[in-house]
Amino acid sequence: MAYLFYGNGVEPIEMPDRLLAHLKVVVATKLRRGESFTLSWRHPHEAGRTTIWLQPAIPLRFVFSSSEPEILDPAWLKELANAANSSRGLNVDLAEPVAADARAPLQAA
């Protein structure tokens, strides 16, 4: 499992490494451009959901359980980026789309 630390909070947001690797690219791109947006997720072991406001002034830290970077799916990155650009915001309940054989994966940085 990977962890996203938001602001000065000590409680991390837990999610699979693969999902966080894709979110890292989308979030970093938006924040580098000075764009703020919401990020939402469902609580995995209880009822409810959380939404946070991401903006460049709030510190973020991405912690991965694997030392090797994930292979990124360009189609999933595009889907996540489109969601982040929408009025609904980025919802991490999105399932990873099935990769087409013709798609070339990207190596995460």
pLDDT at 83: 95
Residue type, 34: G
Question: Could you tell me how many helices (H) and strands (E) the chain has, helices first?
Answer: 2, 8
Whole-model pTM? Answer: 0.84
Q: What is the pLDDT of residues 3-30, one digit of tens each?
A: 999 999 889 998 899 999 999 999 999 9
